[in-house]
Each structure stands twice: as C-alpha cells, then as structure tokens.
Amino acid sequence: MMTQMEPQSLNTPKTSPDEEVALSAPISSRVSPWLAPLAYFFGCRVILPLYFGKVAISGQENLPTTGPVILAPTHRSRWDAVVVPGVSGRPVTGRDLTFMVSENEASGLQGWFVCRLGGFPVNTDRPSIRTLRYGVEVLLQQEMLVIFPEGNIFRDGSVHPLKPGLARLAVSAETTHPGLGVQVVPMGIKYSQEYPQSGSDVSICIGAPLKVATYNQGSVKQRAKQLTTDLENALKALI
C-alpha cells in the first residue's frame, strides 16, 4: 500500500483551492507480507482481548468492503492504532489499512514498523501538496485510508474542530476523477479511562458513510468545508 515519502519542503508552491492535485505514478503495496499478518494476529487475538476489558463495537455493517474509503476516527490514545485495524481492517473487511501518521511517529524503530504496516508520514501542522497527491493515489487504488481528522490526541472526550485536510483530499480525489466513489466513514472511539490501562473498556461506534460525490455545489473549498462540518457533526453524534 504505502511507500515512505520524503518530507516535503515547506516552500512548496501554493495552489488555489480549485486547482486539482496532479498525480504521479500509481503506488505499489509496501505492506509487509509477513509482518502484517503477524500484527493483525497479535492485535486482534492477543492485545485487544487480553489488555482491554470490554470491547464494544457497533456499526461494523457501515464499513465498505470495496472502493475508496477514508476512515475518520476520533483520536483518544495511541491505542487507537491497534483498535482501528482490529475493528475495521483485514479480519473484518478483508482489507489492509493505510494510515496517515505524524512525522514523529514515522521515525526510529517505531517508524520502521509503521511504514511497513501501511503508515506514511505527514506534517500535521502544514500538510504539503505532495501529501495530498499521495492520499489521492491511495484512493485511486481503491484502498482504505485512515486519517484522524482532529489531528492530535484529545483525552477530554469531546470532538475538537476538525482539520480541513481530510475533506480537501476527499473532494479533490472525487473532483479530479468523477465517479470514483469516495466514502468517508466516521468512527467514534471512547475509553473508560483517560489514559487506557490494562482492563480498561473501549467502545467503537462506526457511522454511516458520507458519500463525497454528493458534495457537488460550489468551489472545492466550499465543498470541503461542508464535508468537514457534516463529518464533525457525525462524530459528535457517535460520541
């Protein structure tokens, strides 16, 4: 799914909101064929049932098993990186996930694992055009992309204002390739403790997909803004 990107220079030429992102060559899968099955096995069969207490899941029927999808979970803990694949990845949908992660999570030993399990780095404060292009390529390959729309971990249980990047990427992909069929799936994650410990409960609520093609009025910026608003409302309803 993912190849590791070079960090993009911050002096990348700016584009107008309506300028579509250009695509490079199709991406090839870099999810490790031996590491991914092991990660899913330990995540789903060992970590989730043994570390956590009750794991409550609702709305799994809302997960598309085909086509380009952006999963949009709330971000409450680093445990989310285990929970999200466990309830929506290969064991459930038959699909490996591609994660957009912060640059610091893609460095060192942790980064070695992240980049072989579908992760690629992004500057969360100033996402580059290259990141948008890369995300669009993932969707063109009919993959499932995970983006935490709040950008950072928030432990107070509230949905915080969403970053605009997810919606811009989704709308850009659908606008550049009409009929692509991008869907954005809201996912609410809640732990029984602010800092989950052994025995903590976790609940995951998966909402109905938002079909990006229905956001077809106005400029790309206006459509992305409306999608962001609707996604934020959907997440608040799930929480």
pLDDT tens sequence for the chain (239 residues):
333 333 332 233 344 443 333 333 333 346 788 998 999 999 999 999 999 999 999 999 999 999 999 999 999 999 999 999 999 999 999 999 999 887 777 677 777 887 888 888 777 677 677 778 888 999 999 999 999 999 889 999 999 999 998 999 999 999 999 999 999 999 999 999 999 999 999 999 999 999 999 999 999 999 999 999 999 999 999 98
| Stated length of the chain | 239
Global pTM? 0.84
Whole-angstrom distance, CA of residue 143 vs CA of residue 148: 16
Closest CA to 231 of 188, 184, 189: 184
Residue with tokens 């950008």: 151
Query: What long-range pairs does 159-162 form, CB within 8 A, spacing at least 24?
Result: 159/74, 159/232, 159/235, 159/236, 159/239, 161/232, 162/228, 162/231, 162/232, 162/235
Query: What is the reported pLDDT for 228?
Result: 98
